[in-house]
Amino acid sequence: MNTNTSLITKKSKEIFAAAQKLMPGGVSSPVRAFKSVNGEPVVFDRVKGAYAWDVDGNQYIDYVGTWGPAICGHAHPEVINALNKALENGTSFGAPSLLENILAEMVIEAVPSIEMVRFVNSGTEACMSVLRLMRAFTGREKIIKFEGCYHGHADMFLVKAGSGVATLGLPDSPGVPKSTTASTLTAPYNDLEAVKNLFKEHPDDIAGIILEPVVGNSGFIKPDPGFLEGLRELTTVNNALLTFDEVMTGFRIAYGGAQQKLGVTPDLTTLGKVIGGGLPVGAYGGRADIMSMIAPAGPVYQAGTLSGNPLAMTAGIKTLEILQRPATYEKLEEITKQLNEELLKIAKNKGHAVCGSYSGAMFGLFFTEGPVHNYSDAKRSDLNKFSRFHRGMLEKGVYLAPSQFEAGFMSLAHTFKDIEQTLAAANDVLSNL
C-alpha cells in the first residue's frame, strides 16, 4: 500500500545520473525528464494493470498509462498471451500478413471517416504522412494547425506545438528550416473567426486543417460547441481537407474516437497510441478516393520497414477486442468523471483556483480559474503550484503526467478503490500547497 510520505529514490537517482551521460537529458523523449515540474524522474522497473513500480520498489497508481496506449491496463494478460503466441511466428515479416487485414477492418469499422488505412510505426509518422497526402490531393501547400496542438515532431508541425515543446520553452525548434514551416499557418484553438480570416487571406492556397478534435497536448481542452462543425463547413466550402489527429483521442474518447462521439466526420484521420496496445504503431486513413493516392496504389510515396509488423498488429487487435466488450466506455467514463469531478471539488474547497474537464477516458485539471478554451488560457495556470502538486502526489504514490500541459489517462484496470486512494492523497496534498 502507498503510505510512503517521503519517497526513497536512491536507485532512481543513480540510474538517471548515469542516463544523463549516455542519452541527451537522460531520456528517450523530453517530457519524461520531469523538467517542467522542476524535479527528477523516477525510473520505472515494471508496470501492471493500473500500477507502476520504480526501481526503488515504490508503487504508484498510474494516470499516464505510457501516454495513452495502456487503456486496458498495463500488460493486460490477454494482450501478453496473444503477443507470446505471435512471437513464435516471428517478430517482423516485411511482407503482407492477415493480421494487417484484421486490424485494418477493425479500424475501418470503428472510425467513421476511415474507408482505407495505412499502418506506420508512430503518431509522428502518421501525421507527417497525412500532411504529404493532404498536399498531394489538393495540389496546395499551406496547412492550418492550432496553437498548442501537437502532431508529432516532424519539421512542418514544430510551430506552436504544445506540451513537450511548450514545457521546455522552445517556441520553435532550432534546426527547423524556415522554408519548412513557411506553409504552416496557425490559429488559436476554438477560434473559428481566425480560421475564416486565414482562408480569406490565402484563397485557394490552403490544403487543409489538422487538429486534435479534443486537445490533450496543451492540457485537456474540449472543442467549443460548433467549432468542429464550423471547421467542417469551412474546409468543404474552400475545397480543403479536414484531418483529425486522433493519435491520442482515437479509441479513448470513444471507441470510434472523438469524431464518433462529437458527430463530425473529417476527411482524414491519424491514429496511434491505443491501436498499438503498447507497441509502436501509428496509422492514417480516410476517404478511399484520397487514400488511393498512396503508393503503390497511387503516386504519393510513403513506406516503412517495420510497418504493420505482426507484434504491433497483434497487440492492437487484442486491445480493440477487449475495448469492444459491453459497457467498456461507460465504465471508463464513469471512473474518469468521478476522479475529475471530485478532484476539482477538493481543490476548490481548499481555496485553489482550478478548472478542468473530462471526456471518455481522458481528463485534465488546470491551476487557473479558467475557463480554458485554448493554449493561451492554459498558460495562465500556476505552474509552480502544479509542480508542487505533482511532487506531492508522487510522494503519495500517484503518478501524474509531469506537466500542466498534459492530459490524464484512465484505464479499465483502475478501480474505485484506486480513485478513493488518489482523492485521499489529493486531499492531503491540496491542503498544504
> Which positions lie near ligand PLP, rule CB under 6 A?
122-124, 127, 150-152, 212, 216-217, 245, 247-248, 272, 282
Q: Please, what is the minimum distance in Å from the beta carbon of residue 153 to ligand PLP?
A: 7
Q: Please, what is the minimum distance in Å from the beta carbon of residue 88 to ligand PLP?
A: 27
- Answer yes or no: 245 catalytic: yes
Chain centroid to CA 87: 28
Q: Which is nearer to ligand PLP, 62 or 418 (CB)?
A: 62
Residue 179 CB-density burial (10 A; 0-12 exposed, 13-18 middle, 19+ buried): exposed
Q: Which is nearer to ligand PLP, 213 or 230 (CB)?
A: 213
Q: Which of 244, 248, 276 is nearest to 262 (CA)?
A: 244
Angstrom distance (rounded) from CA 155 to CA 331: 39
Q: Give the number of other CB atoms < 10 A from CB of residue 181.
A: 17
Cell triple for residue 229?
462543425
- Answer yes or no: 273 catalytic: yes
Strand ordering across the sheet containing 206-211: 116-120, 282-286, 268-271, 241-245, 206-211, 142-146, 184-187
Angstrom distance (rounded) from CA 189 to CA 145: 9
Q: Please, what is the minimum distance in Å from the beta carbon of residue 221 to ligand PLP?
A: 12
Q: Please, what is the minimum distance in Å from the beta carbon of residue 172 to ligand PLP?
A: 17
Q: Please, what is the minimum distance in Å from the beta carbon of residue 36 to ligand PLP?
A: 16
SS3 state at 243: strand
Task: Judge whether 265 and 259 are in contact, CB under 8 Å.
Answer: yes
Q: Please, what is the minimum distance in Å from the beta carbon of residue 124 to ligand PLP?
A: 3
Q: Which is nearer to ligand PLP, 13 or 32 (CB)?
A: 32
- Residue nearest to ligand PLP as judged by C-beta position: 123
Catalytic residue among 273, 318, 379, 396: 273
- Max CA separation in the chain (angstroms): 61
What is the phi/psi pair of residue 46, to 5°?
-160, 165
SS3 state at 277: coil
> Who's near 308: CB < 8 A, 6+ residues apart?
97, 99, 100, 119
Catalytic residue among 51, 60, 63, 150: 150
- The rounded radius of gyration (Å) of the Cα atoms in the chain is 21
The residue type of 248 is M
Catalytic residue among 54, 62, 245, 267: 245
Angstrom distance (rounded) from CA 272 to CA 270: 7
Q: Please, what is the minimum distance in Å from the beta carbon of residue 186 to ligand PLP?
A: 16
- Answer yes or no: 150 catalytic: yes
Catalytic residues: 150, 245, 273
